[in-house]
Chains A and B, each alone.
Chain A
Amino acid sequence: MDAHLTLRVDGAERSLTVDTRTTLLDALRDRLANTSPKKGCDHGQCGSCTVLLDGRRIVSCLALAVACDGSEVTTADGLSPDGPATDTLPPEARRLHPMQQAFIDHDGFQCGYCTPGQICSAVGMLDEAAAGHPSHVTADLTADRVALDDEEVRERMSGNLCRCGAYGNITAAVKAVAHR
């Protein structure tokens, strides 16, 4: 069965017809040519396909595209204040999101495959922490504010695997943005 849907992807409205079996990840990559979210495990276990769906981080491999009709999707490509990459703006002129810059400053990756998912997840995670959401390692569940130390960052980012093992520098990058 085919279904028609409209998404707002990185600020631009996109309409498309998909087989109902299409995941949001495959719609983004194969139909909308947005290869920023990566297909790692395709089963929700690695986090490399993480995007922000209506502002919240999710794994796009376990979301059916048709169920996202009408939603706003932000991928790592759309995090820049200049919007997604275009042919008109030279890459060197394009400003990065603070989390993207922090990953560069702290050497938060090696091969880079998990990085767009790590960055989207970190951006979503900081919003959750700013809203006072506790985590499994938060000592006082009723506290209004959480201090993002290494243990908190590692727990909150546990849905993103890095097979290169860049976790130490990823943690440093996320903390650098969190503590600004």
Chain B
Amino acid sequence: MKPFDYSRAADARTAVATVAARPGAAYLGGGTNLVDHLKLGVARPDLLVDISRLPFDRVEELPDGGVRIGANVRNSDLAAHPLVRQRFPALAKALLSGASGQLRNAATTGGNLLQRTRCVYFQDVTTPCNKRAPGSGCAALGGYNRYHAVLGASEHCVAVHPSDLAVALSALDAVAVVLREDGELRVPVAELHRLPGDTPDRDTVLGQGDLITAVEVPTLPATARSAYRKVRDRASFAFALVSVAAVLVVEAGTVREARIALGGVAHKPWRATHAEQELRGAPATEDAYRRAADAELAAAEPLPGNGFKIPMTRNTLAAVLRGLSEPDPQERR
């Protein structure tokens, strides 16, 4: 591991000024991704500014009924929060499907969003990887690519963003509140992460020193229902092959509103805008759900090892929408 200096941030503004002024500086939150990457030699900062004890540790109700989540709220605490469990089941379910109990106790909200988009080759410094070492090539293209992207990838990178939380937040139209030296910035979570293009070394639109301090989730329409479903190789503690977060409003058998985000299929949480358009005003039927999935997946480009993700995404999306449009046994109690 490369040697680094460590400082515990006294306040957010000083932390931002420090990290913005020093290209080799990085923030430390829960550390569950960064410390692993320090050990692997993937991350090589020369200064860690520990922001984990800054007071961004509360979940608060917004005036409109939404929630404001401090960036340092741990994944486990957020999943257990009554407001989240009652109003945003997709969010609770996404958090609970991620990692393990120990990791959720350490991982923070901001850190979960800013974990690296990655694949096995990114984490193996003996292999070529354009994300880790720009210009070195992509070992996944001709290698093991079962877990990789089918949407929005480039010839330079086919890695996927592994967060479950970010997928749910994208579907929920959540907004990240970002502090930078000249003020505060609001970035929709759906626009926070980038597609790889020819600069896959950059995962997000944030610049050096930008600090996520909170995430705001707006309230849902009164009749909306939300869900998160994750398909993986193991029953627990595994990344998604495919995941679906959806918000659905159905009135008199017609879809009034659909918001859908897909995980495990792209370099970023993939907001399925084509499927959403297809669904608006469509009958709430299996046929319509499958047509919507097909509309989204028309642009999919599978690799040799991951063609299964296309039917898997279609089936998972249809199943989630079907579940959201069926009567809820819990609501009929």
Q: List the interface of chain A (C-beta within 8 A of B).
A: 1, 3, 19-21, 23, 42-44, 47, 50, 56-59, 61-64, 66-67, 69, 121, 124-125, 128, 131-136, 138, 140-142, 154-160
Is B182 engaged at the interface, CB distance under 8 Å to the other chain? no
Q: Is the CB of B28 within 8 A of A44?
A: no
Q: Is the CB of A158 within 8 A of B6?
A: no
Is B39 engaged at the interface, CB distance under 8 Å to the other chain? yes
Cβ 8 A contact of A141, one of B36, B40, B50, B93: B93
Interface string of B1-23 (1 = CB under 8 A from A): 10111101000000000000000
Cβ 8 A contact of B330, one of A57, A138, A140, A155: A140
Q: Is the CB of B80 within 8 A of A134?
A: yes
Is B126 engaged at the interface, CB distance under 8 Å to the other chain? no
Please give 6 more A-B residue pairs, beta carbons under 8 A apart, in addition to A62-B103, A159-B99.
Answer: A1-B5, A21-B1, A64-B31, A121-B101, A125-B101, A134-B80
Q: Is the CB of A128 within 8 A of B76?
A: yes
Is B258 engaged at the interface, CB distance under 8 Å to the other chain? no
10 residue pairs from A and B, CB less than 8 Å apart = A1-B6, A20-B3, A21-B3, A64-B48, A67-B52, A128-B76, A134-B80, A136-B97, A140-B330, A142-B330
Residue numbers in A under 8 Å from B5 (CB-CB)? 1, 20
Give A138 to B97 CA distance when docked, in angstroms.
Answer: 11
B102 vs chain A, min Cβ distance (A): 5
A76 vs chain B, min Cβ distance (A): 14
B325 vs chain A, min Cβ distance (A): 19
Q: Spot the interface stretch: B84-92, B151-159, B293-301, B310-318.
A: B84-92
Q: Is the CB of B85 within 8 A of A141?
A: yes
Is B212 engaged at the interface, CB distance under 8 Å to the other chain? no
A-B pairs with lowest CB-CB distance, top 9 = A159-B100, A158-B236, A133-B80, A136-B96, A158-B237, A20-B6, A56-B105, A62-B35, A141-B85
